Amino acid sequence: MQIRKGGQIPSSEITSEQDYLDRRTFLRAAGVLGAGLALTPSMLAACARDDARAAGASQDALVPTSYEDITTYNNYYEFGTDKEDPSENAKGFRTKPWTVRVDGLVKKPADYALEDFLKPAKLEDRVYRHRCVEAWSMVIPWRGFPLRDLIARVEPSPSAKFVEFTTKLDPAQMPGQRGNVLPWPYVEALRMDEAMHPLTLLATGLYGKPLPNQNGAPLRTIIPWKYGFKGTKAIVRIRFTDRQPTTTWNAVAPNEYGFYANVNPTVDHPRWSQSKERVIGGGWRKKETLMFNGYANEVASLYSGMDLRRNY
């Protein structure tokens, strides 16, 4: 079966950050505004359709959220619980040198310097929807490489069924870890087939730039059909195991945060609905939440036969 890589676009076709933030600049460069024409709804619709076509989106246009919003409105409790905290508190976070330990049920366990870890990787630019469990969303142009490429390199054993990711533990640099809002370090995990899916990324940047500290530098996971908390930031360990790992939010509040965390508009969070989402940068406008965050064509087969209300 051939899987369409929804959301993947070559770096040569991704619109620049400035053009995403200012459609007038884009149209002026094309000679449209220079001719004295108004920015009509049909022109905007055409731009949106072009974005959607380039990104492989079938449901709606993947017009990226502004760089400013992406980098100043964050959930990253290691640097504070308010959305503005990470961009302030992560400024001095040191990401060099950086080591990633790969261990567990794998043929090539090692402590990899980040430079060696990334050396064979072919970085790609991909525009993905991002959906938070708090019912807000963004569209983010990530730079990274498929996690499955790394998995192939380290050769997990056939008995490995899950991949566990652990965030750096460093209370001196991460002020949020000095409190007890969560048990530290932060741990998340994926089933092996989820980790091997071509949409799953190890991200090293966004908007064509190195990954900012507040967005998970220097290395984080992106699983676009799941709620944002499934993505692990500042990864220092990748462990392969034959048993489902205990993940941080699922351990703390299992009735609110399931292991799978697939975006599902029919399964409400105990404290709010998931049927709609507020688009960051779009005021308080809300739109309908898409099953699997709009990636159902690509990933629904992973959960064939599963009760997605029970396995939330």
Homologous superfamily of 66-303 in CATH? Answer: Oxidoreductase, molybdopterin-binding domain (3.90.420.10)
- The more confident residue out of 17 and 78 is 78
Give me the residue spans of the domains in the chain.
Answer: 66-303
pLDDT at residue 13 tops 70: no
DSSP 225-258: TBBGGGSPPSEEEEEEESSPPPPHHHHH-TTTS-
What is the C-alpha to C-alpha distance for residues 139 and 279, in angstroms, rounded to an integer? 9
pLDDT at residue 85 tops 50: yes
Model confidence at 7, in pLDDT bands (50, 70, 90)? very low
For 101-138, give the secondary structure using H, E and C: EEEECECCCEEEEHHHHHCCCCCEEEEEEEECCCCEEE
pLDDT at residue 9 tops 60: no
- If 0-12 CB within 10 Å is exposed, 13-18 middle and 19+ buried, where does residue 60 land? middle
pLDDT in tens, 204-220: 999 999 999 999 999 99
Residue 125 neighbours by CB under 8 Å, 6+ apart: 9, 10, 11, 14, 141, 142, 143, 208
pLDDT in tens, 237-289: 999 999 999 999 999 999 999 999 999 999 999 999 999 999 999 887 899 99
Model confidence at 161, in pLDDT bands (50, 70, 90)? very high
Measured CA distances, 59 to 51, 53, 82 (Å) = 12, 10, 32
pLDDT in tens, 217-244: 999 999 999 999 999 999 999 999 999 9
Can you tell me the mean pLDDT for 105-134?
95
What is the C-alpha to C-alpha distance for residues 255 and 212, in angstroms, rounded to an integer? 32
pLDDT for 282 equals 85
